[in-house]
């Protein structure tokens, strides 16, 4: 299709004017058809991008939840690593677990109880009514891991009647108990 100047169009015959207008309309229709095809392809691409963004959001949300769970378990594991469990210590009514453990550390392990800081200490499980000599384990949370190491270094002095255990985190995210009496620290 040849482009006519305005002057050439005015000077042309009516038949040529009509032919030129039809050519121009055909060209516009082809351009409009091409634009429609391009718009459809763009819409298909946009739908695919939207689906992929939805997938990325889903994966990101699940990863965020997983990271939160791992962070919680990591914090939980770090707090548990400062725990020692003492088994075999006879319990009495209305006892003070801090005093019991302080006495145990000094008399059995030769550890000055003022050299270690116990944040919490209590018996595990429920007391069995009617049983005179319960031996529920005592769990002690030490503030510093250095205190744990210090106590653990003295555990080899114990006889097998009283045992000390440490909670650690395994790769399966389950807590296991390490027997410190056997020398496996």
pTM score? 0.51
**Mean confidence (pLDDT) of the chain:** 80
Say whether domain 82-179 belongs to CATH 3.30.70.1820: yes
pLDDT in tens, 39-81: 999 999 999 999 999 999 999 998 888 888 777 776 766 667 7
Strand 163-169 with 138-142, pairing: unpaired
- Which residue has better confidence, 177 or 110? 110
Domain residue extents for the chain: 12-77, 82-179
pLDDT in tens, 135-148: 888 999 988 888 88
Confidence of residue 170 (pLDDT cuts 50, 70, 90): very low
């Amino acid at each position: 299709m040849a482009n006519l100047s305005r002057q050439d169009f005015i000077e042309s015959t009516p038949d040529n004017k009509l032919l030129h207008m039809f050519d121009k309309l055909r060209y516009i229709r082809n351009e409009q058809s091409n634009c429609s095809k391009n718009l459809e392809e763009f819409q298909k691409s946009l739908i695919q991008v939207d689906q992929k963004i939805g997938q990325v959001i889903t994966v990101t949300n699940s990863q965020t939840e997983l990271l939160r769970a791992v962070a919680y378990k990591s914090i939980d594991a770090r707090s548990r690593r400062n725990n020692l469990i003492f088994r075999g210590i006879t319990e009495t009514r209305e006892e003070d677990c801090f005093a019991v453990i302080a006495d145990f550390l000094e008399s059995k392990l030769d550890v000055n109880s003022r050299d270690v800081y116990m944040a919490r200490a209590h018996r595990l499980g429920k007391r069995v009514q009617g049983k005179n000599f319960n031996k529920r384990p005592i769990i002690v949370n030490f503030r510093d891991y250095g205190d744990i190491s210090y106590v653990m270094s003295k555990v080899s002095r114990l006889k097998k009647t009283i045992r000390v255990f440490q909670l650690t985190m395994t790769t399966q995210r389950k807590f296991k108990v390490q027997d410190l009496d056997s020398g496996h620290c």
